[in-house]
Structure 1
Amino acid sequence: MKIYDVIIIGGGLAGLTSAIDLSLSGFEVLVIEKDEYPKHKVCGEYVSNEVLPYLKRLGIDIEKTNADQIDRLTLSNRNGKSVNVKLPLGGFGMSRYALDYLLYEKAKSNGVKFQFDTVTDVEFENEKFCIKTNRKELYSELAIGSFGKRSTLDKKLERDFIQYKTPWIGIKAHYRSDDFPSGEVQLHNFEGGYCGLSKTETGAVNFCYLTHYDSFKKEGSVENFNTHILKKNPELKSFLDNSEIIFDKHIAISQVSFQNKSAVENHMLMAGDSAGLIHPLCGNGMAMAIHSAKLLSEEIKAFRKHKNRNQLEENYSKIWKQTFRKRLTFGSLFQRLLLQPKLTNIGMLAVSKSPYLLKKMIQQTHGKPIS
């Protein structure tokens, strides 16, 4: 019976980064991913520069790609009143289509194995995992759950957050725009949600928003919602009127949950969105996923020496909370502020008079460069 050192369920940012890191230290790693690469995902596609040193150490040099180098933020309220500030650390704009594929190719070159299949169940017995897919059973000493925001596996594991319905839906598409500036990420408020805009490596603008499902359902379609709700913000109206969608249609994800999650479930180590999701307006979810992979990989390398599973799980849970809990708390606070028109207007007035205040707010949801 073949037993891998680590099996990773889900080949998103956290899963792929973990696979690369662990493979560099000699671990035999298998990644199980349901869809083949490359593929588009609903995602803001802005990544904080805090992850650049770590990625470079893994052999991934973002500066050698065509990623848009972003150093400014424009924020607007529902009426289109905006403020523009320089980002304290900056970031880069790159589609998940390109970034995931870049990481996938790197992982393969490191010897990581891939199986494109759907995991149906995970069992832990006699100090090893049995991971069942549609086609076979696979075994490993350690298992990483990196299967995204919401999965059927969450139900199988009876995770607390999955018991609660959430009203959030995410919509995304790429647009062609001659007017959208390079080097800038924009966040525009509208009734019941907010929309992020930033350029990707192809020059296309990623258009991604989060809104309540009830208000979205009333409009009946993405096109109606964009026309009747988003365009009430003059900034979004200008963008939509002067841009052309590149995708055949918008893509969507529903039941986006911001409930607290555990970093360990039935001895499986959770990474990325499976461990916790920051509100998209903070523009830091992709960086957090990559950072969580680093934290997890370090604890797994330590486990190789001490072979104490309880210590591994306790250490990882502790370091995850220490690293990300503050960001998640501030992210939740900022979202509540943006969804209250009066508070948003007061906040816009304050940051327009003192852009330094907005920079400090941004810093609360971002980390320092990791190496």
Structure 2
Amino acid sequence: MRTKFDTVIIGGGPAGSSAAILLARAGWSVALIEKQDFPRRKVCGECIAASNLPLLEALGIGALFAQAAGPALQQVALMHGAHKVVAALPAAPHEHYPWGRALGRETLDTLLITQARLAGVHVMQPWSATHVKGTAGNWRCDVRATDAGTVLTLRAAVLIDAHGSWQALPDARAGRSRDHRASDLLAFKANFRQARLPEGLLPVLAFRGGYGGMVRADGGVTTLACCIRRDQLEASRRTAPGLSAGEVIEALLQEQCDGVRAVLQGARREGAWLAAGPLDPGIHLSRGDAMFRIGNAAGEAHPILGEGMSMALQSAWLLCVQLLARAPGQGLSDPAWQRELARVYAAQWRVAFAARLRFAAVLAHLAMRPRLFKPVLALLQRWPTLLTRAAVWGGKTRCTADPAAIAIQNTFCDHAMRQQGT
């Protein structure tokens, strides 16, 4: 089995698969490591902003996404207690992709990793990365087959961390604190059928100790997802002994938000509640090593804005534009080049996403605190269009990646390889 590559990517979610597709198409040898079998359910709000749809088209799954995704999202609602404020979502400035849509992660992840295989990526699934060692230009990644237990050591010039949320790379796990804090945010998600969520509406939920959202995704399934403080969840569980955490969450949301209760009236939950966490909001670009990070491995925003998918897809494109400045195999092992590239990428990432992270943090902490949220709600009731503006400020219509840039880089690489051949 092949063990030497231009790059090894750890994590086969949207960020990792996107980067793998882009690099493989440019002639790079790519190994993509994913520890779970697909399709798989995952704690995720599942909204994909309109700004990302041209990227999905360029990745080769645009038509399949259009066939499978839920209805176009044209309105946003804020639901808090008995209150509900509705406003228009802003249209993205693209002729063919003005509105975002939602697609279950079990479908999206499968579409992307299948496309990666078609692009020539060496997909290792289900395999786990067990140990990473080395530095820029000379990486060694130990991997183990989940089903057979086979162990291999992969070598690569470039290492990309795209492992996503709720976990750390093997060598970082020992350093992560296991202490539970009252302020920890835990994430939950469930799918419902026969829910009464109006088509095209994207509700945002604010309740004591947490926040969440609802959306209609593929197959008529409504996704209900939320984040809640650990102390709030524990207090609610003490009042409902015998119930699972997910059942407690479902009851809490219906009790504290009339809009949730109305949507779920007569609905049937499909499968169990999923749980994950705690969240780790903030910028994680540099952790004292020389690997590149994309998606939530690079930085994690409070999910109240629903921009996690945007950050995953767009950060992969930002990094690949930089990596593809060199033809495959040409000087990729140069540590100085990688350090400079990492500096440029980190600066671009911060310009693209740092303000979004701060805005999401402000909204999240307001939503979780009723006394602070009350004047915000009064303001929105008087001027609902502030919700529309908030969606713009949150990045719903702005894409930091340009598919044409990748096409230009691929042309450059093709020309360089032809010149080398002559």
Q: 1:97 aligns with which of 79, 82, 106?
A: 106
Contact 2:87 2:388 in 1 (8 A): yes
Match of 1:66 in 2: 68
Deviation at 1:54, TM superposition (A): 1.9
Q: Secondary structure at the match of 1:257?
A: coil
What TM-score does the superposition give when structure 2 sets the normalisation length?
A: 0.82
Deviation at 1:21, TM superposition (A): 1.2
Q: 1:223 aligns with which of 247, 267, 285?
A: 247
What are the Cα deviations for residues 249-291 of structure 1, in whole angstroms up to 9, with x where unaligned?
1111021111331256511101100011111110111111100
Q: From the superposition, tell whether residues 301 and 184 of structure 1 become closer, same or farther in structure 2 (CA, over 3 Å).
A: same
1:139 equivalent to 2:168? Answer no
Q: 2:225 aligns with which of 202, 208, 212?
A: 208
**Residue correspondence of structure 1 range 249-328 to structure 2 within 5 A:** 249-263=272-286, 265-304=288-327, 307=332, 308-328=337-357
Deviation at 1:230, TM superposition (A): 4.1
Q: 1:329 aligns with which of 358, 374, 397?
A: 358
**Residue correspondence of structure 1 range 226-245 to structure 2 within 5 A:** 226-228=250-252, 230-245=254-269
Amino acid across the alignment from 2:162 = S
Match of 1:124 in 2: 134
Distance 1:29 1:162 in 2: 34
Q: Secondary structure at the match of 2:133?
A: strand
1:365 equivalent to 2:394? Answer yes
Give 4+ residue runs of structure 1 displaced > 3 Å after superposition.
Answer: 157-166, 303-307
Deviation at 1:229, TM superposition (A): 5.2
1:351 equivalent to 2:380? Answer yes
For the aligned residue pairs, the C-alpha RMSD in angstroms reads 2.3
What are the Cα deviations for residues 210-257 of structure 1, in whole angstroms up to 9, with x where unaligned?
10122212333221332245422211222333311011x111102111
Q: After alignment, is 122-131 or 42-51 more displaced? A: 122-131
Flag structure 2 segments of 5+ consecutive residues without an equivalent.
92-98, 145-150, 238-243, 403-422
Q: From the superposition, tell whether residues 161 and 15 of structure 1 become closer, same or farther in structure 2 (CA, over 3 Å).
A: farther
Amino acid across the alignment from 1:203 = G
How many residues matched?
A: 369
What are the Cα deviations for residues 136-168 of structure 1, in whole angstroms up to 9, with x where unaligned?
111111011011123242752877899996611
What TM-score does the superposition give when structure 1 sets the normalisation length?
A: 0.93
Deviation at 1:72, TM superposition (A): 1.1
Which of the pair has more CA radius of gyration? 2
Contact 2:282 2:357 in 1 (8 A): no
Contact 1:190 1:232 in 2 (8 A): yes
Match of 1:29 in 2: 30
What are the Cα deviations for residues 29-48 of structure 1, in whole angstroms up to 9, with x where unaligned?
11101001111100000111
Contact 1:9 1:31 in 2 (8 A): yes
What are the Cα deviations for residues 5-38 of structure 1, in whole angstroms up to 9, with x where unaligned?
1110011110011111111211111110100111
Q: From the superposition, tell whether residues 50 and 164 of structure 1 become closer, same or farther in structure 2 (CA, over 3 Å).
A: farther
Match of 1:195 in 2: 212
Q: Secondary structure at the match of 1:111?
A: coil
What are the Cα deviations for residues 199-218 of structure 1, in whole angstroms up to 9, with x where unaligned?
11111001111101222123
Amino acid across the alignment from 2:250 = N
Bigger strand share? 1
Q: From the superposition, tell whether residues 146 and 203 of structure 1 become closer, same or farther in structure 2 (CA, over 3 Å).
A: same
